[in-house]
Amino acid sequence: MISSSMKGEVRGVTKDSEASGAMKYYQRELFRVADGVNAFLTKAFSNVNIDGPPLDHDQMGKKPTMVVCTHRSQVDYFILGWLAHETGVRNMRFAAGDNLTELPYIGSRFRGFGAFPVSRDRARSRTYIRELCSQVVEMIEDGDSIIVFPEAGRSYKGNMLEVRNGMLAAHILAQAHSREKQHVFWPVAISYERLPELLYFDMLQKGKDIRRSRDNFLQRVRGNVYYFGADLLAFSKFLLKKRVGLRYGEVFVDYAEPMAVGDVVDLDANYNPSARDEFSAHRRSMLEAGQVIRRKFLELYRILPVHVLSAVLNERPRQSVKEVMRGVRPIIDQLAKKNRNLKSIKELSDREIVENGIRQCGYMGAIWYRNRTLSVRKSSVIQYYAAAIDSE
């Protein structure tokens, strides 16, 4: 089930617009599979909750748009692509890590839907980032909308990562080239009750570390087996459970109003005319945009009972239910002061938060619950969800 609190009609591309020939091949592919993605999400999750302000669908299709989103799961691509499609974003190109675009079959299909690869191994190379930025500027100027996860990869620990500026830079440069147009960032955050690949993140991180070896070919091969195998195992299990009717809890998609680049940064005031190149000349705007978007991510990312319960248990891994309940309210008060997204818990009592947290942790076998006492069973899961509370 997909539920939405958006006001106004949610619609996709019409057949008339397809017939007009205005769409690029990857837009036509997305139009063709949109209903299938909807059906997939409905079967895979108990509910996909979408929450945000009313959107002007016609404007969403006209303005040069960079969709920026938090990143916790590879499923983000499907959810975000479907949401953007339904709200009017057109000619989407997905910035995707090579661990996704290089997967057998899935990778080639995903590239056919408009994905372009980002090399995780080269992401810290200044030369590579500039080259990638130039490519994305060309895409934007050619009428493409860009979908980006600017944390530069999934958060394996559950915390909000620093926003990287490479992809954001492309949208800033494209706006600098076309002052007559209004380019926009559209911030989105996705929060999962039950993350499909969570139990495989340690394996994925191990592979990522091993495959960096420059001197040992066999080590790199071994690293690739772990790196790609972790996602293959996670999603094989995910798809198998979907087929037999087992769902992965609820998903919460929260978005803000699209933000004009000119409202996020002052391109003229921040411009450095003595910089060695255009990329460097706009560096201050890139840094400021990253800070604004990260703050918006923290405001949007939905805190669930599982996050609060995990934060309490992460401090002391064995507690009575009464002790856990006493630890809930201080955490919520702290989050409220930081303007975090408490929509899922603000109407719940402390007892209800704990009860729902126990249910959500139970999905992954992360805790023992006996004789009104809670004990941590899988510390990596508890630490992952607790990290969302600690993000600053």
pLDDT in tens, 130-179: 888 999 999 999 999 999 999 988 899 999 999 988 889 999 999 999 99
Higher pLDDT, 12 or 194: 194
Does residue 36 surpass a pLDDT of 80? yes
pLDDT in tens, 67-103: 999 999 989 988 998 999 889 888 888 887 766 766 6
Categorize the per-residue pLDDT at 33 as very low, low, confident or very high, splitting at 50, 70 and 90. confident
Higher pLDDT, 4 or 283: 283
Instruction: Kindly state the average pLDDT of the residues 100-123.
Output: 70
Beta bridge partners of 252: 49, 191
Asked which of 104-108, 132-136, 203-207, 249-253 is least confident by mean pLDDT, the reply is: 104-108
Q: Which phi-psi region, left, alpha or beta, contains residue 32 (left: φ > 0; alpha: ψ -120 to 50)?
A: alpha
Categorize the per-residue pLDDT at 13 as very low, low, confident or very high, splitting at 50, 70 and 90. very low
User: What is the C-alpha separation between 30 and 109, in angstroms, rounded?
Assistant: 11
| Start-to-end C-alpha separation, the chain | 32
Q: Return residue ranges of the chain for CATH 1.10.10.
A: 305-390
74-105 as b/e: b if 16+ CB within 10 A: bbbbbbbbbbbbbbbbbbbbbbbbbbbbbbee
Does residue 18 surpass a pLDDT of 60? no
Provide the mean pLDDT of the chain.
Answer: 86
Residues of the chain with pLDDT > 70, as a percent, come to 87
Asked which of 119-123, 153-157, 249-253 is least confident by mean pLDDT, the reply is: 119-123
The pLDDT score that the predictor gives to residue 375 is: 96
Asked which of 41-45, 106-110, 163-167, 236-240 is least confident by mean pLDDT, the reply is: 106-110
| Assigned fold of 305-390 | Arc Repressor Mutant, subunit A (1.10.10)
Instruction: Report the candidate in 19, 137, 13 with the shortest Cα–Cα distance to residue 81.
Output: 13
Higher pLDDT, 62 or 281: 281
pLDDT in tens, 324-360: 999 999 999 999 999 999 999 999 999 999 999 999 9
Distances, alpha carbon 272 to alpha carbons 177, 264, 277, in Å:
15, 18, 10
Does residue 268 surpass a pLDDT of 80? yes
The pLDDT score that the predictor gives to residue 37 is: 84
* Main-chain dihedrals φ then ψ at residue 378, nearest 5 degrees: -125, 95
Neighbours of 63 (CB within 10 A): 18
Categorize the per-residue pLDDT at 391 as very low, low, confident or very high, splitting at 50, 70 and 90. low
In the DSSP assignment, the letter for residue 226 is: H
Tokens 């057949």, located at residue: 15
Instruction: Report the candidate in 99, 100, 85, 70 with the shortest Cα–Cα distance to residue 26.
Output: 85
